[in-house]
Amino acid sequence: MILRTEHLTKHFGGLTAVNEVNLRVEEGQIHSVIGPNGAGKTTLFNMLTGEIPVSDGEIYFHEKKITGFQPHQIARARIGRSFQQTTLFTNLTVLENVRLAEHAHYSGHFSVMRHFLSFTRPVEKAWQVLEELDITDIATKKAGELPHGQQRTLEVALALAADPVLLLLDEPTSGMSPEDSVKMIRLLRKLGNRLTMVVIEHNMNLVMSISAVITVLHQGMVIASGNPSEIEKDEAVRKAYLGGHAK
């Protein structure tokens, strides 16, 4: 098991956004987390990535406790993440975006008198990431000037830098056109061959077509977990999506 949470809980004042979630992510699988708006998906995600502290419970990565890790420590543990709202270095070029993400995993952050290009490994590795995602043609463009679809791809590229073993993707297709979504699904499937992924998604097509396991959150709690066909048939899931108290 690559990622495991035990009774993971988050309170915001009186509101319990995430309630005793036990997530089990197996190595090599694409594991999706779905749920209606306000189900606590992003809160869960932000706890996994260290953005917000947990109220209760534990997180284990490779059976090592990572509860309370800061975001940079999560990244150093080789867990890559993307953001739901595109979060790039907009004034820097695509290659420089990825190079920065690569360099985080090499030494020399505080070597102030060497030129950054004398560290050649991060540059080479960044280029490889662009090649894998097939975006070398936009390497010289500024991230902020890209169309939305390409920004989302760069978002994944940043998460992919420095060989993560676990990739956490927050709505990779959010705001994408149907054509771009198809491309993204193809990309995620390809990445799924070599890494473990946890994906938060609204896009049901994507979820059903790429996931090995789906966990459904509703009002902060796990109401179902299983493979796509099980989830499709699940009565509690249908109710949650149809609006709580539907018959």
Point out which residues bind another protein (CB under 8 A). Answer: 49, 70-72, 74-76, 81, 83, 87-96, 99-101, 103-105, 108-119, 123, 127, 136, 139-140, 158, 161-162
Minimum CB distance to another protein smaller for 12 or for 116: 116
DSSP bridge pairs for 60: 4, 65
**What tokens does 104 get?**
């985080």
Q: Which two tokens stand for residue 218?
A: 């509703």
The DSSP element (H or E) to which 100 belongs, if any, is helix 94-103
Q: Which is nearer to another protein, 75 or 224 (CB)?
A: 75
Query: Counting every residue, how long is the chain?
Result: 247
Shortest spacing between CB 58 and another protein, in angstroms: 22
Q: Supply the minimum distance, in Å, between the C-beta of residue 96 and another protein.
A: 6
Q: Which one, 185 or 199, has the nearer CB to another protein?
A: 199
Q: DSSP secondary structure string, 137-193? A: GGTTSBGGGS-HHHHHHHHHHHHHTT--SEEEEE-TTTT--HHHHHHHHHHHHHHHT
Smallest distance, Å, CB 69 to another protein? 12
Q: Integer distance in angstroms from the first to the last C-alpha of the chain? A: 37
CB of 7 to another protein, least distance (A): 25
Q: Measured from the CB atom, is 22 or 87 closer to another protein? A: 87
